[in-house]
């Protein structure tokens, strides 16, 4: 079993975002209960965000390392070609959030609402997604390695060109997903789920 490393967060300075002069690099800060409009070229290391509402923004080539997002709202934020290393999202809202051509490494998503999330071209490794809602989301051309998925709602989602070999989906909701045969091949599913997906083989079940 692979190990997922937690964010390495030690002593942090409590501060309000509006008080910062340099907003392109945030390091060793703790923010709580405010609205933040991140700089589009931001680099964030060793920080904690608690109860933060992030204004809709497009971030390209951003670097996020050793970060905790707790009770935050990151809905409709666009992350393009961003890197997430040792990052934790817990009890967060990510409605319609875009992770386009980004990298996840040692990331935990727990108890999050991720409906309508766009996950395209995302490279995911050493990551755990647990008890979260990805209903009506879109996973396209993603690369998954060492990924744990537990009790996740993927209902009505599109999973295209995203190989799920050896990924255990048996505890998750995959009702009405649109998935291609190459993506679902080798995934671990329950007996009931197999009945829902058998149509991919081009056969019909006769009572």
Phi then psi dihedrals of residue 145, to 5 deg: -145, 125
CA nearest to 27, candidates 10, 8, 51, 43? 43
Q: Please give the domain boundaries of the chain with CATH numbers for all domains.
A: 23-197 (2.160.20.80)
175 to 36, 51, 152, 157: CA distances (angstroms): 36, 32, 11, 9
pLDDT at 119: 92
pLDDT at 199: 72
pLDDT at 162: 96
pLDDT at 186: 92
pLDDT at 101: 96
C-alpha radius of gyration, the chain, whole number: 18
- Please name the residues in contact with 7: beta carbons below 8 A apart, sequence gap of 6 or more: 46, 66, 67, 68, 86, 87, 88
In the predicted model, residues of the chain with pLDDT beneath 50 are none
């Amino acid at each position: 079993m692979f190990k997922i490393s937690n964010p390495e967060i030690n002593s942090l300075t409590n501060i309000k975002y509006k008080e910062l002069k340099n907003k392109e690099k945030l390091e060793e800060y703790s923010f709580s209960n405010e609205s933040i409009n991140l700089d589009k070229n931001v680099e964030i290391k060793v920080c904690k965000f608690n109860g933060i509402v992030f204004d809709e923004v497009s971030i390209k080539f951003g670097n996020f390392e050793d970060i905790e997002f707790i009770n935050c709202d990151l809905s409709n934020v666009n992350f393009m070609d961003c890197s997430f290393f040792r990052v934790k999202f817990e009890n967060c809202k990510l409605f319609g959030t875009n992770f386009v051509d980004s990298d996840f490494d040692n990331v935990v998503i727990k108890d999050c609402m991720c409906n309508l999330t766009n996950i395209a071209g995302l490279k995911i490794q050493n990551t755990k997604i647990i008890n979260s809602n990805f209903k009506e989301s879109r996973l396209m051309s993603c690369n998954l390695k060492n990924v744990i998925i537990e009790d996740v709602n993927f209902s009505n989602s599109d999973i295209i060109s995203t190989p799920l070999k050896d990924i255990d989906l048996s505890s998750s909701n995959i009702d009405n997903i649109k998935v291609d045969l190459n993506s679902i091949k080798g995934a671990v599913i329950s007996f009931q789920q197999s009945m829902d997906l058998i149509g991919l083989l081009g056969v019909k079940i006769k009572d």
